[in-house]
Each structure stands twice: as structure tokens, then as C-alpha cells.
């Protein structure tokens, strides 16, 4: 068979296998896995790893924060940075504003994304005002392929437990996945008020104001709510061993619960915030970075498959008046924009510190960076794996190349991981067979990436959480409705 493009002589890895093969691509899809393939174009991948392109499923792009601050990256710079970091697809958020309809929210982000992205993209819909009318609109969001929702348990944009249950129920009914930022709002507020009243206002106190217990409590509550209605739930950016344990226990008990952690919780600590002046603001994110013992515990959970994904939570606010200091320079930590960049560093750091240092296998790396995301967010088998018929979304890695992290391709003015020595970098990234990045050069144009209409969350092999109290056989025959 003649191919448009052949990737020849590489070592392929999926979430379950590592094997030598050529990949034959035609019409943007993988059509052959074999030996001695021929094609119009050939990429020599000898000595390289050929992996499914990364799928970044937690990033804030062209989105206002809860404080109303616009991210530095739009769909153009965000997607370019993602591609240089080995990603062939990303799923930023479309954030509802109070009183806004779902239709209008998605239209806003359609406009922001139009003709900008160099890689394929989709959105998770953030729900901050889930009125009855808004809930009634969700089937339409599903119909157009937006099948995951996010809620906050903190910030001004938080939902209460009843609203959270409403969203979980509708999502479950349609096969969607609900994501949650889990921190106990009142605990955080109480701590921050006391700290600032006593003059502890500098960036470093952000971490103290958000204790691990506040995360653990909220994760436990979020899981309880999801179990009540037997709905799938993704706990995003888990930053504590206690939170990870909650996820692990729920999964062991069959619940449809998934966890995500992020590089900042594996590579940074609150000591990084202990800098003169406002410099520590660069490391303000929520939940906050913790300590060395936490890093080790989270790595153990990654190795033991507690987490399904490692995402960047790329939330790019520049270290200037457009970002971190949009509310002014002379402000306490509560008014500094929350978030840090990392979309380009996520995969190289996970490869370097995870695979090269033998903390995780190459298969786990693929699962955590691509396959599990595709499965949970409704993109498998088109994306997230190397298989006949799949989109040719492929990242070719040089496992030996070592670089010291410096400036990235995003619109940011700092890199929180700057100076770290990283071994293993993506050399070539293809999206549906198109070269996006090759040997440090951008080959794609804004608008080459397409919107991905996603399907249902894949819960294959999971039993769900069946509570006796909600079973008609043991509750006087009353059925608990979805």
C-alpha cells in the first residue's frame, strides 16, 4: 500500500506495548503498522521513540480567571507551546459567566478559538451558575461534542453541594465526566483572613492559607457526592497525599472516580515561594505547591496508578500588570492572579523525571500523558493511541537529548521550571499526519487545528458505586432518580 507518509525504524510505545515498527499514514490516519513500508515522504525515526501525541486536558487558554484576568496565552500561542511540548491535541476550558447561557458561553470560545490553533482542540465547559435553564441546555452541549464539565468548590465561581449534585446527575445521564477543583472555600477564607489581619500578606503566605486539609476535606466530599448519584468524577490537580488516598480508596471500592496531578506538585515546593519582594508570586497557584515529602508521596501514587492523568494546569498570568499584578503591586496574596505556565514542560519533565529516572514505565508515561485522557474525555480510539484507523497524532521523541529548561514558546515572561536539566524531548509532532513541529521549527499555521467533537466517558472495566441506601431493593422501593 502506498502511504502519504511513513515513520520508519522507530520504537513505538502505547499504554500497553513497546515494539519496533514502521507507521504508514494516509489521509491523516494511521493505516499500516509493519516493516519495510514505503511512502511519498519518510521520517527516519531510528533511535527515537514514537508515541501517541500528548493530550493536554487541563489548561486555561483565552480564559478570564475567577478574578476576571485574561490569560496571556490565546489559542495560537497556547497551542504552539503545547505542540513544542509534544502535544497534538488540547482541551482548554470554556468558562460560563454568571447569568450566561451555555450556548453563549460556547459561542464565545468558538470565536476565541476560531482559526487560531495549530493542533486539534476541544473544550470542557466550566459551570458557575447552573440554573434549571442552564442544566436544560446541557444535552445540546453533549450533542455538539462537549462532554465534560468542571465545577469549583472554591473561588467566587464555586457551586454549592446541591448544584454540584445537579450537574453530576445530568452528566451521568448523558455519559459525561464532571471535573472538580476541590478545596474547602470557608477553610481557605478563614485562614487567609487571619493571616492577612496579622500582617502576613506576602506571596509565600498563599501556601499557608490553603492547607492540605482543606483539599482533603473537599475531595472527600466531592467523591461522596459523586458516589451518591454513581456519577463519574475527575478530581483535578490533586496536591496532597491525603487527597490521593481518597481517590485511591474510592477507586478500590469501584467508584467512577479519577484523579489528576500536575508537575508543579512534583517539582516545586513552598520554599520556591520564599523569595524577596513579590518574586514568590510566580509560584502562586491553587492548590498551592507543598513540600518534598508530598512530592515523594505523589510520585508513589503515580507509580501505583492512583492517578489517571498528569496535566499541566497551564494558567498563564505574566509577572506584570497584565497578569499577576492586574489588581496592583501593593496587594496581599489573595489578590495576586492564581496559576503558572507549564503546557510545554509537562511532558519533557514527566519523561525526564519519570521514565529516565525509572519512577514510571514508558507505558505509564503514554497512559498518563495521552491514552487515559483520550479514554476519559471521549476521544479514544481516534486519539490517544497508535492503532490502525486512529488519527496520526504522533510525537517522535529523542530520549537522549538533554536541555536546560529556559524560555518556552508561550506568551509568558517566566518559566517556573527554568534551569532544570531535562533529558528526553519531542523532536517532531504530527497532528492528523500534518507536521506541526519539526526539529525546533513550527511548520503548522494558525487554524490548522480542528475542533474535536468528543464522545462519552469510557468506564470499561469499572463497576460503579452501588449504595444500599439508593437501591430500590433495600430502600422501601423508592428509586433514586438520576
Which spans of this chain sit near ligand URP (rule: CB under 6 A)? 60, 181, 285-286, 313, 315, 338-339
Closest CA to 376 of 171, 194, 205: 171
Of ligand URP, Zn ion, none, which one does residue 184 interact with (CB within 5 to 8 Å by kind)?
A: none
Return the number of the residue (315 or 376) whose C-beta is nearest ligand URP. 315
Is 260 among the residues that bind Zn ion (CB under 5 A)? Answer: no
Binding range to Zn ion, per CB under 5 A, among 164-172, 217-225, 306-314, 392-400: 306-314
Rule CB under 5 A: which of 394-423 touch Zn ion? none
Return the number of the residue (151 or 452) whose C-beta is nearest ligand URP. 151
Return the number of the residue (313 or 344) whose C-beta is nearest ligand URP. 313
State the burial class of residue 293 (Cβ atoms within 10 Å of its Cβ: 0-12, 13-18, 19+): exposed
Binding range to Zn ion, per CB under 5 A, among 174-182, 383-391, 409-417, 472-480: 174-182
Of Zn ion, ligand URP, none, which one does residue 238 interact with (CB within 5 to 8 Å by kind)?
A: none
Return the number of the residue (51 or 127) whose C-beta is nearest ligand URP. 127
Minimum CB separation of residue 125 from ligand URP in Å reads 14
Of Zn ion, ligand URP, none, which one does residue 73 interact with (CB within 5 to 8 Å by kind)?
A: none
Q: How far from 48 is each of 21, 39, 148, 412, 425, CA to CA, in Å?
A: 12, 19, 34, 30, 10
Return the number of the residue (40 or 291) whose C-beta is nearest ligand URP. 291
Return the number of the residue (48 or 58) whose C-beta is nearest ligand URP. 58
Minimum CB separation of residue 250 from Zn ion in Å reads 19
Of ligand URP, Zn ion, none, which one does residue 281 interact with (CB within 5 to 8 Å by kind)?
A: none
- Half-sphere exposure (CA, 13 Å, Cβ side) for 380? 19
Of ligand URP, Zn ion, none, which one does residue 290 interact with (CB within 5 to 8 Å by kind)?
A: none
Return the number of the residue (142 or 152) whose C-beta is nearest ligand URP. 152
Minimum CB separation of residue 71 from Zn ion in Å reads 11
CB 121 within 8 A of CB 85: no
CB 54 within 8 A of CB 17: no
Minimum CB separation of residue 65 from ligand URP in Å reads 6
The set of cell numbers assigned to 99 is 447569568
Minimum CB separation of residue 252 from ligand URP in Å reads 27
For Zn ion, which residue has the nearest CB?
A: 181
Of ligand URP, Zn ion, none, which one does residue 338 interact with (CB within 5 to 8 Å by kind)?
A: ligand URP
Is 346 among the residues that bind Zn ion (CB under 5 A)? Answer: no
Of ligand URP, Zn ion, none, which one does residue 314 interact with (CB within 5 to 8 Å by kind)?
A: none
What is the end-to-end Cα distance of the chain in Å, rounded?
50
Return the number of the residue (225 or 337) whose C-beta is nearest ligand URP. 337
Return the number of the residue (22 or 313) whose C-beta is nearest Zn ion. 313
Cβ atoms < 10 Å from Cβ of 245: 17
- Contact with Zn ion (CB under 5 A) among 120, 313, 332, 393: 313
Residue burial 91-113, b: 16+ Cβ < 10 Å; e: rest: bbbbbbeeeeebeebbebbeebb
Question: Is the peptide bond between 287 and the residue preceding it cis, with omega within 30 degrees of 0?
Answer: yes
Of Zn ion, ligand URP, none, which one does residue 344 interact with (CB within 5 to 8 Å by kind)?
A: none
Minimum CB separation of residue 439 from ligand URP in Å reads 32
Return the number of the residue (95 or 106) whose C-beta is nearest ligand URP. 95
Minimum CB separation of residue 71 from ligand URP in Å reads 9
Minimum CB separation of residue 288 from ligand URP in Å reads 8
Minimum CB separation of residue 60 from ligand URP in Å reads 5
Return the number of the residue (177 or 444) whose C-beta is nearest ligand URP. 177
Minimum CB separation of residue 226 from ligand URP in Å reads 19
Is 181 among the residues that bind Zn ion (CB under 5 A)? Answer: yes
Our CA dihedral for 267, 268, 271, 274, rounded to 10 degrees, sits at: 150
Residues that bind Zn ion (CB under 5 A): 181, 313
Amino acid at each position: 500500500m502506498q502511504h502519504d507518509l511513513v515513520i520508519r525504524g522507530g520504537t513505538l510505545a502505547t499504554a500497553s506495548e513497546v515494539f519496533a515498527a514502521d507507521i504508514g499514514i494516509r489521509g491523516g490516519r494511521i493505516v499500516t503498522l509493519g516493516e519495510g513500508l514505503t511512502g511519498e515522504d519518510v521520517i527516519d525515526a531510528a533511535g527515537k521513540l514514537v508515541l501517541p501525541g500528548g493530550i493536554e486536558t487541563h489548561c486555561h487558554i483565552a480564559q478570564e480567571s475567577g478574578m476576571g484576568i485574561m490569560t496571556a496565552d490565546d489559542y495560537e500561542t497556547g497551542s504552539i507551546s503545547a505542540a513544542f511540548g509534544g502535544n497534538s491535541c488540547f482541551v482548554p476550558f470554556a468558562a460560563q459567566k454568571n447569568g450566561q447561557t451555555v450556548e453563549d458561553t460556547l459561542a464565545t470560545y468558538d470565536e476565541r478559538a476560531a482559526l487560531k490553533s495549530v493542533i486539534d482542540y476541544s473544550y470542557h465547559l466550566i459551570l458557575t451558575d447552573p440554573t434549571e435553564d442552564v442544566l436544560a441546555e446541557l444535552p445540546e452541549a453533549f450533542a455538539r461534542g462537549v462532554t465534560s464539565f468542571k465545577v469549583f468548590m472554591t473561588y467566587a465561581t464555586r457551586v454549592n453541594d446541591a448544584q454540584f449534585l445537579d450537574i453530576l446527575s445530568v452528566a451521568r445521564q448523558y455519559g459525561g465526566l464532571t471535573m472538580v477543583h476541590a478545596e474547602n472555600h470557608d477553610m481557605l477564607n478563614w485562614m487567609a483572613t487571619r493571616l492577612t489581619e496579622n500582617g502576613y500578606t506576602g506571596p509565600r503566605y498563599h501556601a499557608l492559607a490553603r492547607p492540605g486539609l482543606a483539599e482533603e476535606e473537599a475531595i472527600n466530599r466531592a467523591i461522596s457526592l459523586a458516589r451518591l448519584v454513581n456519577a463519574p468524577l475527575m478530581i483535578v490537580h490533586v496536591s496532597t497525599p491525603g487527597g490521593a488516598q481518597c481517590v485511591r480508596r474510592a477507586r478500590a471500592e469501584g467508584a467512577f472516580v479519577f484523579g489528576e496531578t500536575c508537575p508543579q506538585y512534583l517539582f516545586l515546593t513552598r520554599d520556591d515561594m520564599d523569595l524577596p519582594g513579590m518574586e514568590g508570586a510566580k509560584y502562586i497557584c491553587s492548590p498551592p505547591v507543598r513540600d518534598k515529602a508530598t512530592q515523594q508521596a505523589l510520585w508513589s501514587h503515580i507509580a501505583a496508578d492512583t492517578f489517571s492523568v498528569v496535566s499541566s494546569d497551564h494558567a498563564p498570568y505574566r509577572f506584570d500588570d497584565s497578569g499577576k499584578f492586574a489588581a496592583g503591586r501593593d496587594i496581599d496574596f489573595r489578590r495576586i492572579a492564581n496559576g503558572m505556565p507549564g503546557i510545554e514542560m509537562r511532558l519533557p519533565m514527566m519523561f525526564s523525571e519519570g521514565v529516565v529516572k525509572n519512577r514510571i514505565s514508558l507505558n505509564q508515561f503514554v497512559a498518563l500523558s495521552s491514552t487515559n485522557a483520550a479514554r476519559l474525555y471521549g476521544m479514544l480510539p481516534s486519539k490517544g493511541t497508535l492503532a490502525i484507523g486512529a488519527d496520526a497524532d504522533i510525537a517522535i521523541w529523542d530520549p537522549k537529548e538533554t536541555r536546560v529548561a529556559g524560555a518556552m514558546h508561550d506568551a509568558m515572561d517566566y518559566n517556573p521550571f527554568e534551569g532544570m536539566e531535562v533529558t528526553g524531548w519531542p523532536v517532531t509532532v504530527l497532528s492528523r499526519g500534518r507536521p506541526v513541529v519539526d526539529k525546533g521549527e513550527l511548520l503548522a499555521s494558525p487554524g490548522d487545528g480542528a475542533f474535536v467533537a468528543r464522545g462519552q466517558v469510557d468506564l470499561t472495566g469499572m463497576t460503579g458505586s452501588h449504595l444500599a441506601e439508593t437501591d430500590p431493593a433495600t430502600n422501601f422501593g423508592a428509586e433514586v432518580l438520576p
